[in-house]
Structure 1
Amino acid sequence: MAFLTNDYFERDVLTVARDLIGIELVWQGCSGIIVETEAYAVEGDPACHTATRPSARVFVKSQPPGTAYVYFNYGMYWLFNLLVKGGERDGLILIRALDPRLGLAEMQQRRQRPKVTDLCSGPGKLALALGIGGIHHGAPLAGRHRLKGCGLRPGPENLEVLSDVRVGISQAADFPWRYLARDNPHVSVKHGRVKPPVTRHFASDPLMASSARSSPPR
């Protein structure tokens, strides 16, 4: 099955984050179906790296859509994101959870966990399970220069998508920009479990308010 091309990532960051649910991430002999993502917008989102890191702003400007943005979080875990640019809003999409499909033995060895639902049920877990690290920052995941053995392709089934607030952030904590497959056992945090502070960040923005509602099946 054909891999996604750059133009897939040349759309609004919220649209792409939602549409990635059900897409298969292939990584050098391993793969999993994406079941949870988080969107971060370049503009107007204080939780995005571009709000505080000049290097992130340079990355967005200089790299093509579909490029891997990988960073070390809390000195403990690598986190894997995808660059989206060229649509209504540019941004970065954190891949939070996968439903593992190929290379289970290798993932279990890397994670030192036998239980399949514990292999990729969180962004740090999935990066470790797939062997993603800092050397992959800036790697193209779409287009003619796509990293060998890696890429994204349509999954075997459509999944019903829900939206929810993002996890573990203190700014813009009420933005409903986390997308997850309904009732999937591999997500990092179940729908409705994160309780953000009561704010009005998105109440006046029709596009943001609409993203708070559940999306229909694709």
Structure 2
Amino acid sequence: MDTLRYSSPDGPEDHERAGSGTAANSSAPHAPASPQALPPELYSLPALEAAPRLLNQILVRRTEDGEIRCRIVETESYGGVEDKGSHAYAARRTPRTETMFHPGGEAYVYLIYGMYHCLNLVTGPADDPQAVLIRAVEPLTPHDAALMQRYRARIPGGKAVNVSNGPGKLCLALRIDKSLNGWSLIQPGGPLHLEQGGDVSSLNIVQAPRINIPYAEEYAEEPWRFYIQDHPYVSIRDKNARPFHF
């Protein structure tokens, strides 16, 4: 799993910035009028198949200040015991990685540098540790953006996209911490869940190597990061990214 080796949640993601933009002017299609749960079969897919399909889906966070809804625009896949970039490489089963060995549909939340959290969706069957890191999200409305900005408190550069264009950033903006580790994301009603967004097959999706995992050796350059091309909330755009097709 990407250990995101930077000293703050605004680290390397601030380089090669995807541009500026806000939820109000995003060209991405909006979520359905009546929220619907994601198809259950998505959670049973290998992480590499689930990662691009999570793009454009809606992440919902319920807080004491109200509900925040945002669109997933960037993901990374960490799949199986053979992936040297994964926390569970070589079937490493520890208190930290235990959630990865659960059946797909749970949140895997871990802490880096003792300060910043990262949110992942566990996928696949039990005892086959796979997960998809949620790298960037876009608030759906100005209300969502305002609440996320309040939780972030400090937005580097004053750019709206900086509120959630990185895994550590979005967890701060959505108040996601280890208390949500192991929480089911399948059913509405809880503090964190997923809903259907627009048609992902209609988007221009690209794939590129994952971020900051040189320790993964031959797996470091696998193109297992997926994002919506030219979306302003993407953390880092890769000039060598290639088109992805389902």
Q: TM-score, normalised by structure 1?
A: 0.81
Partner-residue secondary structure (3-state), 1:49: coil
1:86 equivalent to 2:125? Answer yes
Q: Within 5 A, what are the aligned runs for 1:144-159?
A: 148-156=190-198, 158=200, 159=203
Matching residue of 1:9: 43
Partner-residue secondary structure (3-state), 1:8: helix
Residue pair 2:88, 2:129 contacting (<8 A) in 1 also? no
Q: Within 5 A, what are the aligned runs for 1:1-218?
A: 1-28=35-62, 29-51=67-89, 53-55=92-94, 58-61=98-101, 63-86=102-125, 91-102=130-141, 103-112=144-153, 113=155, 115-143=159-187, 148-156=190-198, 158=200, 159-170=203-214, 171=216, 172-192=219-239, 213-216=242-245
2: CA distance between counterparts of 1:90 and 1:71? Answer: 15
1:7 is displaced (CA, Å) by: 2.4
Partner-residue secondary structure (3-state), 1:214: strand
Unaligned runs of 5+ in 1: 194-211
Residue pair 1:141, 1:147 contacting (<8 A) in 2 also? no
1: CA distance between counterparts of 2:38 and 2:207? Answer: 23
4+ residue stretches of structure 1 with deviation over 6 A? none
Give the aligned CA root-mean-square deviation in angstroms: 2.2
Tell me which moved more, 11-20 or 157-166. Answer: 157-166
2: CA distance between counterparts of 1:186 and 1:19? Answer: 18
Q: Name the count of aligned residue pairs.
A: 195
2: CA distance between counterparts of 1:149 and 1:81? Answer: 15
Unaligned runs of 5+ in 2: 1-34
Which one scores higher on RCO, CA 8 angstroms, separation ≥ 6?
2
1:215 is displaced (CA, Å) by: 1.6
1: CA distance between counterparts of 2:89 and 2:189? Answer: 28
Matching residue of 2:30: none
1:213 is displaced (CA, Å) by: 4.8
Residue pair 1:5, 1:142 contacting (<8 A) in 2 also? no
- For residue 190 of structure 2, what is the amino acid of its counterpart? K
Matching residue of 1:205: none
1:4 is displaced (CA, Å) by: 1.6
1:27 is displaced (CA, Å) by: 1.0
Residue pair 1:40, 1:93 contacting (<8 A) in 2 also? yes
Partner-residue secondary structure (3-state), 2:148: helix
1:60 is displaced (CA, Å) by: 3.0
Q: TM-score, normalised by structure 2?
A: 0.72
1:47 is displaced (CA, Å) by: 0.8
1:173 is displaced (CA, Å) by: 1.1
Residue pair 1:12, 1:90 contacting (<8 A) in 2 also? no
